Amino acid sequence: MTGRIIMHVDMDAFYASVELRRRPDLRGTPVIVGGYPRGVVLSATYEARAFGVRSGMASSQAMRLAPNATFLSPDFDAYSSVSAGIGAVFRSITSVVEAASIDEAYLDVTGSRRMFGTPVEIGEHVRAVVADEQQISCSVGIGPTKFVAKVASKQAKPDGLVEVLPDGVAAFLHPLPVEEMWGVGVKTAERLHNLGISTVGDLAHTPRGGLRRTFGPHAGGMLRELAWGRDGRRVVVTEPERSIGSQETFGADSDDGHVVRRELLRMADKTAGRMRKAGLVGRTVSLSVRFADFAELTRSITLSSPTAVTDEIYAAALGLYERLALDRPRVRRVGVRVEGLVPAEKACVQPTLIEPEQGWREADRAVDAAVGRFGPGAVQRAVLTRRISRPPSPTWQPRGGLAGEGEADPAVPPGPQIREIRNGV
């Protein structure tokens, strides 16, 4: 193969595959990752897909299609950790890596042949290392352009590899239905069918004028170019992540302010934990609220100094929520995001005169250490593990701040109160 050699690597049923590492007893059965009974399908095993379950489908519909499927709640921290490990494998092959999403990436391996061999050998090496280190499978497409590599990886699924040589692009693409083209959705495919275009080959031989009249000068021309495998896009090294966030769709719409505040705290806790794990801090806190009628409001605030402290992020998100003029009180989903991230070691955090020697920052570190040693759920805020009679706030915490320490006690002064658990952690 001469010219550029582009590889597209796509994890197979990524979220579901990560979950099966922890639940090997579910292998070979239909498994769906997503919100239940509300929410959407985020990922599904191929056994579930055989029933017609697809990503983005409403969970209620998926349950009707596959009534015996096992629903699992998503664990985005686990997915991010596995994704980071896979990214490290990619960068061991080439420095030119473009992350298209959490579970797929483009690699320019043109310069990697001298060290790792032929493109197929490189692809099989990637698949073997990912399977060995992460215990999940991936599919690899190799071609002279990003578009061809993307289509090839789709044809390789699941757990396969397809290489398309430059002189074999037309022979590979043209027999495929237009639906197999990246970027061609249901509506575009319908319009193509209305023009009598069923295959990529039909599209490639359709006069430009007809396509431009139907799809516009840019989209019409691009479709025809892609049908011949022509794609001038280069693999662009991905910029570092600039924001981290978490969101939760409620099991039922709620107009209970206590419930909403509790979930805001849960999302702030997840977001802050991911930031600390990545060694990042940020100043801009963003709140998103989706209501029962699917209308959505987003608000943000910039703090005086960057932070990754759960209570500081929660306080900002709670303040934004309290200031909302809610004419749609029933809430369907809440989300908390922190933007403008920078490495913690490069951030300038301004202490206050009244700041205690040991504060919430140290409390978060102790909790992170316990969770890192004993696993998720080893330490949790009591307010997130039980129903309480009053809403959480940054200045009021359950006794001890940890699960199992009793009911809320407003007499406890604000500040971290860490319970000693297991070997002094």
pLDDT digits (tens, 9 = 90+) for 235-244: 999 766 678 8
pTM: 0.66
The answer on whether 75 is annotated among ligand-binding residues is no
Annotated active-site residue 225? The verdict is: no
The better pLDDT of the pair 410, 329 is held by 329
In which band, very low, low, confident or very high, does the pLDDT at 258 lie, cut at 50, 70 and 90?
confident
Q: Which backbone phi and psi does 297 adopt, to 5 degrees?
A: -120, 140
* 343 vs 381, residue with greater confidence: 343
Higher pLDDT, 140 or 340: 140
List pLDDT tens digits, range 347-373: 655 555 555 555 566 677 777 776 666
The 10s digit of each residue's pLDDT in 69-128 is 999 998 887 888 899 899 999 999 999 999 999 999 999 999 998 889 999 999 999 999
Percentage of residues of the chain with pLDDT beyond 70: 81
List Cα–Cα distances, 72 to 15, 49, 381, in angstroms: 10, 15, 22
* pLDDT surpasses 80 at 421: no
Domains contained in the chain, CATH given: 1-164 (3.30.70.270), 174-227 (1.10.150.20), 243-401 (3.30.1490.100)
* 260-264: average pLDDT: 91
- Catalytic entry in 47, 104, 263, 312: 104
- What is the pLDDT confidence band of residue 199, given thresholds at 50, 70 and 90? very high
pLDDT at position 263 is: 92
For 20-42, write each residue's pLDDT tens digit: 999 999 999 999 999 887 788 99
Q: How far apart are CA 227 and CA 199, in angstroms?
A: 9
pLDDT at 293: 80
Q: What is the pLDDT of residue 409?
A: 36
Distance of alpha carbon 152 from alpha carbon 134, whole angstroms: 23
The mean pLDDT value of the chain amounts to 83
Residue-level length of the chain = 425
| Span 294-312, pLDDT tens digits | 788 889 999 888 999 999 9
Q: Is 10 annotated as a binding residue?
A: yes
**DSSP classification of residue 399:** G
Q: How far apart are CA 299 and CA 312, in angstroms?
A: 16
Q: What angle is formed at CA 305 by the lines to CA 303 and CA 307, rounded to 5 degrees?
A: 90
What amino acid occupies position 234?
A: R
Q: Are 400 and 417 in contact (CB under 8 A)?
A: yes
Mean pLDDT of 257-263: 89
Predicted local distance difference test score (pLDDT) of residue 256: 86
Of 123, 424, 388, which Cα lies nearest the Cα of 258?
Answer: 388
- Closest Cα to residue 44, out of 75, 21, 66? 66
The pLDDT tens digits for 53-80 are 999 899 999 999 999 999 999 888 788 8
Summarised one tens digit per residue, pLDDT across range 380-404 is 676 666 543 344 444 333 333 333 3
State yes or no: pLDDT of 417 exceeds 90. Answer: no
* Residue at token pair 């590899």: 161
User: Would you state the pLDDT for residue 78?
Assistant: 86
